[in-house]
Amino acid sequence: MMKKISLLVFVIFLLVNCSSSEKQNNSQAQFTAKASENPVYPAFNKPIDFASITQEDVRDAVISIKQITNNALNEIISVKEGERTFENTMKALDNLYGNLDIISSTIYLIAYTHPDSLIRNEALQSNTVLDKYLNGIKLNENLYTAVKAYSQSKEAQNLKGYQAKFLSETITKYEQNGFALSNTDRNQLKTINDELSALAQQFSKNIASYKDSLIVSESDIKGLPEEYKKARKLQDGSYKIDLSSPSYFPFMRYSKSDKARRQLFMKFYNRAAPENLEVLQQLLQKRLKKANLLGYKTFSEYTLENLMAKKPSTVWEFETSLKDKVKAKSKEDIKELLAIKNRDVKGSEVINRWEYSYYASMLIQEKYQLNSEEVKQYFMLDDVIDGLFKITQSLFNLDYKEVKNPSVWHEDVRMFEVYQDHKIKGIFYFDLYPRDHKYNHAGCFPIINGRMTKEGYQIPDASLVCNFPKPTDDKPALMPHTDVVTLFHEFGHVIHHIVTTANLHSQAGTNVTEDFSEAPSQMLENWVWKYDAIKLFAKHFKTREVIPQELFDKMLASRDVGSGIKAANKLFFGTYDLVLHDTYDPFGEESTTDVFKNFQNDIMPFPYVEGTHFQASFGHLRNYGSTYYGYLWSLVYAQDMFSVFEENGILDTATGLRFRDIVLANGNSKEALDLVKIFLGREPNNLPFLKRLGFEIQRQ
């Protein structure tokens, strides 16, 4: 009798657990099934069918992912007391975010790259909807209660490694999202978060949709290369210069017309103004309200708490410690430029912002006999891509294979599969040329994060979106060396994203702290400043001659021209971002333009130009809340890590594999500082960073 009862209990136990297991897998099954109905949803480890996506697909994807996510939420919340495990609570939560992120990231990419205005606008609207929905999840008290309940279990208290880190950080984030607040305050927080999402979307949309140009005469365009002029010539013989990078920066560098450069500069420094001035003011007001509601004095305190810097005072110390040294070097840079300007304009004591690139170009040509147009002849885009691939494939033991006739969002987009040890590791896309309504900077857009699933390891997808010169019928795309640096930098993000081995979506790839996220990509820039690397791909587009050592040496010597000004620029933007979110009163009478003017005149060697509003198009302000300092901060670690390659050989595969497996593959499953220490085999220091800047800064 006891055996029969025991058997019955055992059967009931199995049925209950099978039912629970089926319930836990229900939302994932719904997500998988959706792949056969909607191209926004990818089948497991299959590419997204971008070419088939319609406006209706985007709309349906938003509706369905919310339903699927709601089901996943209910599955997590409904786990009975005492039955919670890492798998049914924390892993399930990570899967929830992973599935939602696939859809939201795909739609985000479409919003800023798709040529069809109906699809693009639908995606832009969907971004706002999904952001608001995500804000609701972050403030779901039942979900927080579930995680908190699991954290008190015996299993949770014995977690180690990435699991313990994920649990701890999840609880911290929940509590930062207001779970110590009253219901009334929490509802207010949700409203503020929704408003912030909408404002951020509007800020980006205003930048992306802004179009303006300058019509110039033949005399105004004197100094520009013929292919540049040909691409912009109008039927009446004038030239149309738009504000995209391939148009703006060469014009500012080479046009002999000071008047035309100033006119184009005024347009460029007023992109998305005045609309975004008001949007930015509202963003800052809402951010301060949010921080105060959560018990922080400033938004910087709130933002920096979980980053490497931890608190605003650390960043202020970092910025302040560099200011005097950078200003001293930038003043020396200005003296060199004034010596040239005074040949044109006697008695000049000031270099204006619109004059910097022009006179810096002349200085480089005269002092180093370096002609940027000559340099471009050795950097045909296809050659640069080939070199980028050779170097990164060799360093990190990867293999890239281009997919023929891929399903993409525009005919210019290329698709590549990444293999590691003959197994597919990931997918990346190249969307490299400018077009109307496309994202007008350069960036890596993650699409799918790596993570371990019951079906196996989810391979990551990402897209590199840039705005490099497009080849014409009679001439290939030739890149300024600055664009070569940009390509290597952004591809560093792609590699970081692709080679991940992290178990959790939330810890995979580039999901590291913001003040470390740029370090791997900044490190990869160094290869385009080493002749042993650059000679692999820098070939004259006509003669196919490898770039001469003599010419490269001139490039290297000229690299530090204006290094103080360049450093001051990063320092200024980092300080401006910090001020807006730490000491500025967005409810006071002082405007963001007043702040910009005051700090530019204090840090930069150029006087502020009245009537300009660069902050309106300073896209980083959409997402960065006092974290722009991270570019210089992470550069310290980037240069320190690169010093290991310099010691062992910049093409040393063994060092590359150590960097891949220790720093890149772990993502955020371990503390960034710990990973850096393991790779270096010592404590980090800033000496390589100081050396790279090209001027001496003595450590205190």
Using pLDDT thresholds of 50, 70 and 90, give the confidence band for residue 620. Answer: confident
Using pLDDT thresholds of 50, 70 and 90, give the confidence band for residue 695. Answer: low
Helices (H), 255-311: 258-268, 275-293, 299-304
Q: Do 24-138+140-176 and 275-369+562-628 have matching folds? A: no
Class of domain 275-369+562-628: mainly alpha
Quick one: average pLDDT of 153-166? 97
Spatial contact of 517 and 415, defined as CB atoms under 8 Å apart: no
pLDDT in tens, 464-489: 999 998 998 888 999 999 999 999 99
Higher pLDDT, 22 or 446: 446
pLDDT of 11 > 50? The answer is no
Taking the alpha carbons of 537, 542, 544, 549 in that order, is the dihedral positive or negative? Answer: negative
pLDDT of 287 > 80? The answer is yes
Burial zone of 181 (CB within 10 Å; 0-12 exposed, 13-18 middle, 19+ buried): middle
Spatial contact of 89 and 76, defined as CB atoms under 8 Å apart: yes
pLDDT of 15 > 90? The answer is no
pLDDT in tens, 72-99: 999 999 999 899 999 999 999 999 999 9
Q: Which residues does 411 contact at the CB level (< 8 Å), separation at least 6?
A: none
pLDDT of 696 > 70? The answer is no
pLDDT in tens, 350-369: 999 999 999 999 998 888 88
Cα 459 from Cα 509, distance rounded (Å) = 11
pLDDT of 623 > 90? The answer is no
pLDDT of 517 > 50? The answer is yes
Cα 319 from Cα 579, distance rounded (Å) = 11
The confidence score (pLDDT) of residue 699 equals 38
pLDDT of 698 > 60? The answer is no
Using pLDDT thresholds of 50, 70 and 90, give the confidence band for residue 25. Answer: low
Using pLDDT thresholds of 50, 70 and 90, give the confidence band for residue 1. Answer: very low
Q: How many CB atoms lie within 10 A of CB 438?
A: 20
- The kind and range of the H/E element at 1 are none
The confidence score (pLDDT) of residue 697 equals 42
Q: Which of 45, 440, 523 is nearest to 205 (CA)?
A: 440
pLDDT in tens, 44-55: 999 999 999 999
Structure tokens at 501: 């081995």
The confidence score (pLDDT) of residue 131 equals 92
The confidence score (pLDDT) of residue 424 equals 98
Cα 353 from Cα 604, distance rounded (Å) = 10
pLDDT of 178 > 90? The answer is no
Higher pLDDT, 136 or 501: 501
In the chain, where are the structural domains located? 24-138+140-176, 211-268, 275-369+562-628, 381-559+632-693
Which pTM does this prediction carry?
0.79
Quick one: average pLDDT of 531-547? 97
Cα 447 from Cα 415, distance rounded (Å) = 13
For 24-138+140-176, CATH gives 1.20.1050.40
The confidence score (pLDDT) of residue 27 equals 87
ω before 480 within 30° of 0 (cis)? Answer: no
Q: Which residues does 664 contact at the CB level (< 8 Å), separation at least 6?
A: 396, 495, 496, 499, 500, 520
Residue listed under structure tokens 């885009």: 381
Q: Which of 32, 31, 39 is nearest to 55 (CA)?
A: 39
pLDDT of 428 > 80? The answer is yes
pLDDT of 321 > 90? The answer is no
The confidence score (pLDDT) of residue 10 equals 38
Residues forming a β-bridge with 448: 461
The confidence score (pLDDT) of residue 694 equals 65
- Residues in the chain, how many? 700
Phi-psi bin for 163: left (phi > 0), alpha (psi -120 to 50), beta?
A: alpha
Q: Count CA within 13 A, CB hemisphere, residue 46.
A: 13
Using pLDDT thresholds of 50, 70 and 90, give the confidence band for residue 24. Answer: low
Using pLDDT thresholds of 50, 70 and 90, give the confidence band for residue 370. Answer: confident
pLDDT of 547 > 60? The answer is yes
Quick one: average pLDDT of 504-527? 95
Mean pLDDT of the residues in the chain: 92
The confidence score (pLDDT) of residue 202 equals 95
Q: Count CA within 13 A, CB hemisphere, residue 92.
A: 29
Quick one: average pLDDT of 286-304? 95
Cα 482 from Cα 91, distance rounded (Å) = 43
Spatial contact of 522 and 638, defined as CB atoms under 8 Å apart: yes
Q: Which CATH architecture has domain 381-559+632-693?
A: Orthogonal Bundle (1.10)
The confidence score (pLDDT) of residue 372 equals 84
Spatial contact of 429 and 415, defined as CB atoms under 8 Å apart: yes
Q: Which residues does 52 contact at the CB level (< 8 Å), separation at least 6?
A: 39, 407
